[in-house]
Amino acid sequence: MSTPLLLRGLLVFGLIGTTLGLARAQEAPLKFGKLEAREAAALLAQPTPDSAAAEVLCDFGQSRIKGKQDGFELRFERTARLLIRRTEGYDQATVRIVLYHDKEGGREKISQLKGLTYHLTGTQLSKEPLKTEAVFSRKLDEHHDEYAFTLPNVRAGAILEFTYLLTSPFLFNLQDWRFQQDIPVRWSEYRVSIPAFYSYKELTRSYLPFAVNETGVESYQTSYQQSGDTGYGNSAFDSRNLTLSTKALTRRWVLKEAPAFRPEPYMTTPRDYVSGVDFELERIQFDSTHDPQFQVGSWAQIEAQLLKNTDFGGFLERDSPLKAAAAALVSLPDVAARAGAVRQLLLGAVVYNEVPTLYASAPPRRVLELRQGNAADLNLLLIALLRQAGLEAQPLLLSTRGHGRIQTELPVLSQFNYVVAHVAVPGGQPLLLDATDARLPAGLLPQNCLNDQGRLLGPKGGWVSLAPAASHFTYTQAKLTLASTGELSGTIRQEYAGYAAADRRQPVATLRQQWQQAHPDWQLEKADLLPAAADGSVALHLQARLPGGGAPAGTIYLRPLQALGELGNPFRSATRLYPVDFAAPPRLEQTVELTLPGGYTATGLPANIQLALPDNGGRFIFQAVPNGPDKLTLVSRLQLNKTRYSAQEYHALREFYAKALAKLAEPIVLQRQ
């Protein structure tokens, strides 16, 4: 299999100074309603990749800009053909389209919708058209509706086709395209044609190679109806028809034999990985005698826009009932201690309602009265209180892992969906603070916020790394005694630190249950939660027993690290197309002090080893050391040093885990003398 390649490009559409050849007219790869029985038989005879329940045979879309009454509109046409193999694929017969509308009455619309279901019986191909009653629409939110339709009479062996036209007055958002779906796609093609007076930024992502990726130039002409001015406003009765002629930039992409997209362990949102192309309107210029109108702003413009917003910058300027208490903390000389105290003050007054957003929902006083708020309510209030405590605090915009990675070259506010506090520390690393999760200590952002980079607002604005300030650390220390029957018993200290501690800040009964579920063969006799540590770690003290055989054995095979461990290999697939993306790097350590039964000697110990990933990517250490005639000390340490491993590094990472697990599975052999 060829090595997957991430193609990431930023192309500014424009015709000034280009040396592109004229585009040749390409035949459409699919025409609605033109399927013949012979072709249907050939399609049905061809095996489906990965034995999928359904597949996309062809998905073809094209976008153009056309003139209309007093303006222009986007016209997006899509035609697709699918094959249903088994009942599990029946849900592919329902197609859902999200349509946008604004408060001024602008609205995206669907028209020219047609659908067919084909069935091949012998050499006869029947067609059943889409019925009107199978078309539905519903409101999703203030600006979005869902338009859905279901093709009729779907069963195994059915071939489905549909086509529609989407018209949109929103030129800022040229229709995007996804080449992959959750079922295999044999052919996915997208074409755009953009007249010279519009310029778009294009962002193309793919971990799969394109069969076609072409740019060209073609002649462009459209009619445009301009209303006349009667002195009382524009009138359609006194309008004139104009014809605009220029050149248009064309783009064409084809992706062939795309496998079904399947989420893999340690990924962010699928949108970061699925092959696709997105656009953002950058500039409009109808002729060289007029200055261009720039549509995509700068990061400075985005900051100014946010700070003017009542629910962002305006929220920061308002006082709150906690102002005096925050100001009193100025006396704390240490910046980190003062910031932590301010955060603790807020955590005691408000709880998070689990709504991640960039904008406040209510004024500060109301948020405190309700004693709950969304992420922006809490973190903007935190920034204001930090400032009142005399600290240099600024908003840090970010995109959560579920929202997608930021494209730093594209200044678009919609890329962000979260804000945290950035506190400057004289002579040191800045503090990043969040007030939504009381289980985390100050200075650790929630794992969902650990998504590459954030954008700092303010005089020192710029990109800030969101690399985790701690690992996901699990440590096991056990003192065990082995009986001649093979039974192990003793004490176990289970410690969780960094990001592992957040999930373990729970009552001791819950922690005991979680440990027991992870170690079902052990019998827990006692569990105590140790006093809280200064670093925020959580420690559980256990007394436990692992039953052995019913009678003394002449030879005992023992695997204590495997029996106690929490290490598993999440990388089961032999290959991987996408990077491995840990929010926080894992670190697991085990130390076992083992007392042997009288009369037994260790005749076989696993060899000590050290494993290392390339480029200092991680280490694994295993040691088995005798301490006298009846004592053994066993140690294992696994630590990854990066949060992101490329697809090219996947094989080494997978083998690293496999070898570590194999070592923990090697037995200690004890013989009775």
pLDDT for residue 239: 66
pLDDT digits (tens, 9 = 90+) for 382-404: 999 999 999 999 999 999 999 99
* Alpha helix segments (H runs only) across 276-362: 299-308, 313-317, 323-327, 335-347
Q: Which of 659, 665, 637 is nearest to 471 (CA)?
A: 637
Which of 14-18, 353-357, 623-627 shows the lowest mean pLDDT across its residues? 14-18
Look at residue 9 and tell me whether its pLDDT is greater than 50.
Answer: no
pLDDT for residue 238: 54
Pairing of strands 276-284, 198-206: antiparallel
Q: Note whether residue 6 is domain-resident.
A: no
∠ Cα 537 539 542 (to 5°) = 170
Q: With bands split at pLDDT 50, 70 and 90, how would you rate the model's confidence at 287?
A: confident
- The residue length of the chain stands at 673
Pairing of strands 54-68, 185-195: parallel
Output the CA–CA distances (angstroms, integers) from residue 285 to 100, 200, 246, 374, 410, in the order listed.
Answer: 25, 12, 12, 41, 20
pLDDT for residue 233: 45
Shared domain for 412 and 492, answered yes or no, is no
Segment 454-463 mean pLDDT = 92
Mean model confidence pLDDT for the chain? 90
Shared domain for 159 and 215, answered yes or no, is yes
∠ Cα 383 385 389 (to 5°) = 115
Q: With bands split at pLDDT 50, 70 and 90, how would you rate the model's confidence at 173?
A: confident
Please report, as a single letter, which amino acid is at residue 593.
E
Segment 441-451 mean pLDDT = 95
pLDDT digits (tens, 9 = 90+) for 233-279: 444 455 677 788 889 999 999 999 999 999 899 999 999 999 999 98
Residue 135, domain extent: 37-228+239-287
Q: Note whether residue 358 is domain-resident.
A: yes
pLDDT digits (tens, 9 = 90+) for 174-203: 899 999 999 999 999 999 999 998 888 888
Q: Note whether residue 25 is domain-resident.
A: no
Structural domains counted in the chain: 3
Question: From CA 622, how far away is CA 539, in angstroms rounded?
Answer: 23
Shared domain for 93 and 164, answered yes or no, is yes
Residues 530 and 541 sit within 8 Å (Cβ to Cβ): yes
Shared domain for 114 and 253, answered yes or no, is yes
Shared domain for 48 and 155, answered yes or no, is yes
Residue 209 phi/psi, 5-degree rounding, is -75, 140
Shared domain for 305 and 378, answered yes or no, is yes
Shared domain for 268 and 306, answered yes or no, is no
Q: Which of 540, 632, 637 is nearest to 593 (CA)?
A: 632
Q: Between the CA atoms of 433, 434, 435 and 436, what dihedral angle is there, to the nearest 10 degrees? A: -160
pLDDT for residue 629: 86
Q: Note whether residue 587 is domain-resident.
A: yes
Residue whose pair of structure tokens reads 């991987």 in the numeric block: 576
pLDDT for residue 295: 62
Q: Long-range pairs for 88-94 at CB < 8 Å and ≥24 separation?
A: 88/53, 88/54, 89/52, 89/53, 89/54, 89/183, 90/154, 92/54, 92/160, 92/183, 93/117, 93/150, 93/151, 93/154, 93/158, 93/160, 94/148, 94/149, 94/150, 94/151
Shared domain for 516 and 656, answered yes or no, is yes
Higher pLDDT residue, 349 or 295?
349
Q: Which of 63, 26, 77 is nearest to 214 (CA)?
A: 26
Cβ atoms within 10 Å of 190's Cβ, excluding its own: 23
Shared domain for 513 and 458, answered yes or no, is no
Output the CA–CA distances (angstroms, integers) from residue 554 to 458, 485, 540, in the order listed.
Answer: 73, 9, 35
pLDDT for residue 18: 37
Cβ atoms within 10 Å of 2's Cβ, excluding its own: 6
Segment 478-501 mean pLDDT = 96
Q: Long-range pairs for 446-449 at CB < 8 Å and ≥24 separation?
A: 447/401, 447/499, 447/502, 447/583, 447/584, 448/356, 448/400, 448/401, 448/402, 448/583, 449/398, 449/400, 449/401, 449/418, 449/420
* List of E strands, 230-342: 234-258, 276-284, 293-294
% of the chain with per-residue pLDDT over 70: 93
Q: Which of 506, 429, 416, 509 is nearest to 468 (CA)?
A: 429
pLDDT digits (tens, 9 = 90+) for 110-141: 999 999 999 999 999 999 999 999 999 999 98
The secondary structure element, H or E, covering residue 200 is: strand 198-206
∠ Cα 462 464 466 (to 5°) = 155
- 398 token code pair: 């970010």
Pairing of strands 159-168, 71-84: antiparallel
Torsion region of 381: left, alpha or beta (phi above 0 gives left; psi -120 to 50 gives alpha): alpha
pLDDT digits (tens, 9 = 90+) for 611-660: 999 999 999 999 999 988 899 999 999 999 999 999 999 999 999 999 99
Helix (H, G, I), strand (E, B) or coil at 311: coil
pLDDT for residue 286: 78
Helix (H, G, I), strand (E, B) or coil at 471: coil
Look at residue 25 and tell me whether its pLDDT is greater than 80.
Answer: no
Q: Note whether residue 14 is domain-resident.
A: no
Q: Note whether residue 413 is domain-resident.
A: yes
Question: From CA 217, how far away is CA 208, in angstroms rounded?
Answer: 26
Torsion region of 382: left, alpha or beta (phi above 0 gives left; psi -120 to 50 gives alpha): alpha
Instruction: List the CATH number of the domain containing 119.
Output: 2.60.40.3140
pLDDT for residue 229: 52
pLDDT digits (tens, 9 = 90+) for 535-545: 889 999 999 99
Shared domain for 425 and 456, answered yes or no, is yes
What are the residues whose beta carbons fall under 8 Å from the beta carbon of 509, sequence distance 6 or more?
none
Q: Note whether residue 293 is domain-resident.
A: no
pLDDT for residue 613: 97
Segment 532-553 mean pLDDT = 90
* List of E strands, 499-578: 523-529, 538-546, 555-558
pLDDT digits (tens, 9 = 90+) for 410-435: 888 889 999 999 999 998 899 999 99
Instruction: List the CATH number of the domain containing 501.
Output: 2.60.120.1130
Shared domain for 312 and 437, answered yes or no, is yes
pLDDT for residue 8: 40
Instruction: List the CATH number of the domain containing 450.
Output: 3.10.620.30
Shared domain for 132 and 95, answered yes or no, is yes
Q: Note whether residue 282 is domain-resident.
A: yes
Question: From CA 317, how far away is CA 307, in angstroms rounded?
Answer: 10
